[in-house]
Structure 1
Amino acid sequence: MSRIVAVANQKGGVGKTTTAINLAASVASRGLRVLLVDFDPQGNASSGVGYGRERVELTIYDALSGDVSLADVIRPTDITTLFVVPANTDLVGAEIELISADRRERFLADALAPVVSQYDYIVIDCPPSLGLLTLNALVAADGVVIPMQAEYFALEGLSALSKTIEKVKAAYNPKLTIDGVLFTMYDARLSVANQVKDEVARFFGEKVFGESIPRNVRLSEAPSHGKPCLLYDLRCAGTKSYLAIADELIDRTNAGKPALALQP
């Protein structure tokens, strides 16, 4: 069974795109076929797997506008089983055009439908907002991974996103669920970080991933080289954490069995 996972948080700077890139790459390293869909007009998920602006020709916008099929937009990456649908600032236009469109919340779901069966996982990097693009991602998805920092202000954002997910589930996508809450840039030495984590665990229980992503220099450097962290530094703490998260996600969602193809 294929599974579509939206990586979403309306708050910027929480490691959303870093999580989308490295979660997709880590799942792919386990021998599963993964499609990373860049659905953020900033295009950072694209450049993070080697598709900077100068290398991008067709994008997700071209597929949404009906100029080409999504299959025509898919590109390979340096990981054999990881593929990407690039994005760039053209995607801003899509959000404007969707406002007056029929079935405006289902454009992404319709575009993905012909290729879903070709992948074990499809990971969508959502924009940092709760607009029409994110709505499209949530309508298309089976589950949501929510990256967040262990800060008190982040609790309000988590509450707002959870309410949005429930509304989308009720109105458009009854199968939608939260696959996991992931703490990023986590420092266990800080009492506030542990307090926030405990507070989130009270409400979300086992939805909180057992592993957290630490602050890690190599994790921050990897995107500038156009590589997921496991290709940049396989043995760094960031890579090890995302590999552990990938295994936990696979175990939770049962969309595939880890092949254990790559170990740190």
Structure 2
Amino acid sequence: MNILTFYISKGGSGKTTCSLNMAYALGEVGQRVLIIDLDPQGSLSKLMLKESDTIKYMTMFDVHTRNLDIREVLFDDETYHVSLLPSNERNARLINLISEQDKLFLLKDMIAPLENEFDWIILDSVPSINELSKVVLSTSNMTVIPFMPKKLVFDQLASTVRTVQKVKKFYNPDLVITGILPVAMDASLKADKEYYEAMEAIAKEEGIEILPMIKRSTFIEKAADSGKSVIQYRSKESKGLAEPFRLLAKQVVLQAGGTS
């Protein structure tokens, strides 16, 4: 079982949209995928469940405090082999329940029973650098850094790389940065091109691969707003926008030693 997270220490950087589309890209090639939403705001859960309030749904907090079987509280899209464990504001209290020495192993212990149930788990968490993000990175074996052409995002890129490297060094030697994923970019725009080149310089310095670019498109945003990935559409436009996610899905499957 492989555990993947999209992580950058800046909100509004496309990580939730990437998590959604990546899950369906992996499911499309026959991989069994579970998305665990850990963000107390529950943005991804609200999208996928088409609910404005997810407080009634069971979360990782409930699995832990009520000793629930995690498999019994999932929502399944059997067509695409994708399941969801929702999140809501109760997840904000999750980390506070665990003693300091156990925090980094909390998620690993809780998802261990799913070893034979899923090929991939995608963890969607808070963007800020806090205990929860450290737990998520300590649990994952792959991370993708989404990068939007914005100053505040660029300002966090180098520190995000350092954070991941620090977690790898001190807590999780199995953690690998799969690459930096350019998101919502328009290569024809001068500003976007300059941000890409600046990102490219950091990637080269750190020895990190740059992944296929996700073009700027309102279609991706509208699809996510309706709780769908671009993979689920069959239009000519969606096919082009879905291609980078499909390429990334094949890449990480091969990286993990599987076949697609």
- TM-score, normalised relative to structure 1: 0.87
Q: Determine the structure 2 residue equivalent to 1:129.
A: 128
Q: Determine the structure 1 residue equivalent to 2:86.
A: 86
Identity of aligned residues (%): 25
Deviation at 1:128, TM superposition (A): 1.6
Deviation sequence 1:69-106 (CA, Å, 0-9, x none)? 322332202634111111111111213334x4541122
CA distance in 2 between counterparts of 1:25 and 1:12 reads: 22
Q: Determine the structure 1 residue equivalent to 2:14.
A: 15
CA distance in 1 between counterparts of 2:243 and 2:55 reads: 29
Please tell me the residue identity of whatever aligns with 2:253: I
Deviation at 1:56, TM superposition (A): 5.1
Please tell me the residue identity of whatever aligns with 1:216: S
Q: Determine the structure 2 residue equivalent to 1:119.
A: 118
Q: Which moved more, 1:36-45 or 1:194-203?
A: 194-203
Contact 1:108 1:140 (C-alpha < 8 Å) held by counterparts: yes
Q: Determine the structure 2 residue equivalent to 1:76.
A: 76
The alignment status of 1:58 with 2:58, answered yes or no, reads: yes
Match of 2:242 among 233, 239, 249: 239
Deviation at 1:245, TM superposition (A): 2.6
Please tell me the residue identity of whatever aligns with 2:16: T
Q: Determine the structure 1 residue equivalent to 2:67.
A: 67
Note closer, same or farther for the CA distance 1:234–1:70 as it changes in structure 2 (3 Å cut). Answer: farther
Please tell me the residue identity of whatever aligns with 1:104: K
Give the secondary-structure state (helix, strand or coil) at the position aligned to 1:211: coil
Q: Determine the structure 2 residue equivalent to 1:191.
A: 190
CA distance in 2 between counterparts of 1:131 and 1:55 reads: 23
CA distance in 2 between counterparts of 1:246 and 1:11 reads: 24
Q: Determine the structure 2 residue equivalent to 1:220.
A: 221
Deviation sequence 1:20-67 (CA, Å, 0-9, x none)? 110111111111111111111111222332363359521121123353
Instruction: Give the count of matched residue pairs.
Output: 255
CA distance in 1 between counterparts of 2:152 and 2:228 reads: 31
The alignment status of 1:173 with 2:172, answered yes or no, reads: yes
CA distance in 2 between counterparts of 1:209 and 1:24 reads: 20
CA distance in 2 between counterparts of 1:233 and 1:13 reads: 27
Q: Determine the structure 1 residue equivalent to 2:212.
A: 211
Please tell me the residue identity of whatever aligns with 1:174: P
Give the secondary-structure state (helix, strand or coil) at the position aligned to 1:117: coil
- Structure 2 unaligned segments of length 5 or more: list them: none
CA distance in 2 between counterparts of 1:69 and 1:102 reads: 24
CA distance in 1 between counterparts of 2:16 and 2:56 reads: 18
Deviation at 1:183, TM superposition (A): 0.9
Please tell me the residue identity of whatever aligns with 1:122: I
Deviation at 1:3, TM superposition (A): 1.3
CA distance in 2 between counterparts of 1:184 and 1:49 reads: 21
Contact 1:38 1:124 (C-alpha < 8 Å) held by counterparts: yes
Deviation sequence 1:137-180 (CA, Å, 0-9, x none)? 11110011111112344233111111111221122111111012
- Structure 1 unaligned segments of length 5 or more: list them: 259-264
After superposition, the CA RMSD in angstroms is 2.2
CA distance in 2 between counterparts of 1:152 and 1:84 reads: 32
Contact 1:120 1:255 (C-alpha < 8 Å) held by counterparts: no
CA distance in 1 between counterparts of 2:55 and 2:89 reads: 14
Give the secondary-structure state (helix, strand or coil) at the position aligned to 1:118: coil
Contact 2:180 2:211 (C-alpha < 8 Å) held by counterparts: no
CA distance in 2 between counterparts of 1:192 and 1:135 reads: 32
Note closer, same or farther for the CA distance 1:214–1:69 as it changes in structure 2 (3 Å cut). Answer: same
Note closer, same or farther for the CA distance 1:238–1:65 as it changes in structure 2 (3 Å cut). Answer: farther
CA distance in 1 between counterparts of 2:160 and 2:11 reads: 13
Contact 1:47 1:223 (C-alpha < 8 Å) held by counterparts: no
